[in-house]
Amino acid sequence: MFTQCKGALMRVSFSAARFVVSDIDRSLAFYEGVLGMKPTHWFRYSDPDIVEVTLTDGDGRPCVVLLAGEEAPVHSGMKTYGPVVFFVEDAMAASADIAAAGYDLAIDPPVSLGPAVAAMALDPDGYQIELLSFAPGVDPASLLAAPPEDAPQAVVPHPAGWIHQQLLR
């Protein structure tokens, strides 16, 4: 996909979300141990002392970069960020796994949104992580397609207001 950006034609694609974390091992326990991501690249820098770890999703694509170090301020507890959304096979089961591992759920129980289920958790530094799953046979891309002009349009409230109230409690 090409996007016109300040006069230059460029290809834009997603690389990864970078989280500045307070403890790389504690964050790896969450992203690798609970969510099943795989660390593929470790970078250690000196002056200042910084560690950066790239994690891949189930398809081997980079999706999260964790960065920790003496010159990297952690944005812990800031409720204005995110959430970062990950597709999972079963959001209900993922939510239960996260709670069983001792991490906080921002929404408990997960919310059913038509053909989707959304779970919300907080990583060890307070970043909002949304886990989204779909009913069997539902292609998430099909939900993003524009409906035909003659299709009836249902007006239903979006759950964002309720979700934000849950996150700010």
Round to whole Å and give the CA distance between 20 and 26.
Answer: 12
The mean per-residue pLDDT over the stretch 111-130 comes to 85
CATH number at residue 21: 3.10.180.10
The mean per-residue pLDDT over the stretch 110-122 comes to 84
Of the three residues 54, 74, 94, the one that is the final residue of a domain is 74
Q: Are residues 43 and 60 in the same domain?
A: yes
- pLDDT digit string, tens, across residues 76-95: 555 545 678 888 888 899 99
Please measure the distance between the N-terminal and C-terminal CA atoms of the chain and give it in whole angstroms. 40
Q: 153 or 20: which carries more pLDDT confidence?
A: 20
Q: Are residues 79 and 161 in the same domain?
A: yes
Q: Are residues 165 and 100 in the same domain?
A: yes
Statement: residue 144 has pLDDT above 80? no
Burial of 27 (0-12, 13-18, 19+ CB in 10 A): buried
Q: Are residues 131 and 84 in the same domain?
A: yes
How many domains would you assign to the chain? 2
Distances (CA, A) of 74 to 25, 84, 96, 127: 15, 16, 27, 10
Statement: residue 62 has pLDDT above 90? no
- pLDDT digit string, tens, across residues 20-58: 898 999 999 999 999 999 999 888 887 778 888 999 998
Q: Are residues 65 and 82 in the same domain?
A: no
Specify the pLDDT at position 107: 86
Specify the pLDDT at position 4: 45
Q: Are residues 96 and 53 in the same domain?
A: no
Statement: residue 110 has pLDDT above 80? yes
Strands (E) in the chain, as ranges, are 2-5, 8-11, 17-20, 38-45, 50-56, 62-69, 84-87, 105-113, 116-122, 128-134
Q: Are residues 70 and 80 in the same domain?
A: no
Of the three residues 33, 53, 74, the one that is the final residue of a domain is 74
Predicted confidence band at 3 (pLDDT cuts at 50, 70, 90)?
A: very low
152 in a structural domain: no
Q: pLDDT averaged over the chain?
A: 76
Q: Which domain holds residue 24?
A: 1-74
